[in-house]
Amino acid sequence: MIPTQTLSRFIHAQRRRYPDSTGELSDLLVSISLGVKLISQMVATAGFKGLHGYTGETNVHGDEVKVLDEEADEVLVELLGSSGHFGLLVSEERDSVISTDATHNEGKYVLAFDPLDGSSNIGSSIPTGTIFCIFRKKDESRSAINDDFCQPGTNIVAAGYSVYGAKTSFVYSTGSGVHGFTLDPSIGEFVLTDHDIKVPERGTIYSVNEGNTAFWDERVKEYVESLKRHDATAKGPYTGRYVGSLVADFDRTLRKGGVFLYPVDAKRPLGRLRLLYECMPLAFIMEQAGGAAINGPDRVSELVPSDIHQRSALITGSPHEVNAYRSIVHGSTR
Ligand code: P6P
């Protein structure tokens, strides 16, 4: 079968629905997908090229080996920084905001990304991934500034993630549904495999690191226990699945339903995950697929980052399970 719906063809077809669009967003999404292909290759060959994945040791040639997430970061900064579309970049790997070739001229957008989330898992072949979100500058008449990253997730123009696992997948949304692609290595193209992904209203899987139970608020413990109880009137007990790699746990929750949660706890009062380039893009995706994403009391997409590396809690997935969390832990359902 000839794969006609490649990512670039799909993106450009989507663009034709917006006659006044400049095609810039399409172009930059294709650039991001190229970066994902390059990182996919790096991850797939890490073990063979002496990159030692996540240890940063010296390879057989005596060259200093950068850890994979630094390599992935450099690929994206170079590729996207030179695209002309992004005035500024934020990377999980860099302490401060990154200027680009387009900082002081036409770059209409700013981009935040985690280049290789879960990279410490590579040594044991657990899936990893890249997560990103894109905002327009608050004021297109001026150069990009750091404050352009201080916007709620409801202002996200596009967001997506990739999973480097048994297959390399790329899932994105520009606000018109969520679409999933799979890399066909034989042609080096992402091919449409999941059009308009919708999360089930209710699921049967919960995903949380139960090693943190001792540090949870009592009501969080009550919520998780409620998922384990067998209740003849419902679907319980839920199945527990926790990979420990955000993109893998999120992707399964998006496609199969249920809930992924990393709540605040006594050791992590601000949360474990990063708001700008992990929680916000994934919340955008989950809501576009009909699901929900909160940090506990608040909708993640309404939060405004005050620091580019700010942490957050994340409870996301099917509406049924997320609303139950709100009700049990915070006494409200919105
Ligand atoms: P814990 C991986 O290091 C990561 O940032 C996410 O990919 C993952 O969801 C989380 O940390 C796992 O954290 O505390 O369960 O090991």
pLDDT tens column, 58-84: 544 444 445 788 889 999 999 998 888
Bridge partners of 117? 129
Q: Which of 114, 189, 249, 251 is catalytic?
A: 114
Q: What is the mean pLDDT of the chain?
A: 89
The residue from 76, 116, 261, 282 that is catalytic is 116
Helix residue spans in 120-196 (DSSP H): none
pLDDT of residue 116: 92
Q: Give 37 Cα–ligand 1 centroid separation in angstroms.
A: 23
Q: How far apart are CA 293 and CA 271, in angstroms?
A: 14
194 included as an active-site residue: no
State the pLDDT at residue 230: 77
CATH top class, domain 205-330: alpha beta
User: What is the 8-class DSSP label of residue 313?
Assistant: -
Decide if 78 is catalytic.
no
- pTM comes to 0.93
Q: Which residues contact 208 (CB under 8 A, 6 or more apart)?
A: 224, 240, 242, 260, 261, 262, 263
Whether 114 is a known active-site residue: answer: yes
Q: What's the rounded Cα separation, in Å, for the pair 298 and 284? A: 14
Using one digit for the tens of pLDDT, what is the confidence trace for 1-55? Answer: 565 789 988 888 887 777 667 778 888 888 999 999 999 998 888 766 555 444 4
Question: Which of 114, 207, 273 to mutate to test ligand 1, by most ligand atoms within 8 A of the CB atom?
Answer: 273
Q: Which of 63, 64, 95, 218 is catalytic?
A: 63
Q: What is the pLDDT of residue 237?
A: 87
Instruction: Answer yes or no: 93 catalytic.
Output: yes
Superfamily of domain 7-194: Fructose-1,6-Bisphosphatase, subunit A, domain 1 (3.30.540.10)
- Positions in the chain whose pLDDT score sits under 50: 52-55, 59-65
User: Which of ligand 1's atoms lies nearest the C-alpha of 128?
Assistant: 7
Annotated catalytic, 139? Answer: no
Q: Which amino acid is at 138?
A: K
Structural domain boundaries in the chain: 7-194, 205-330
C-alpha of residue 189 to centroid of ligand 1, in Å: 29
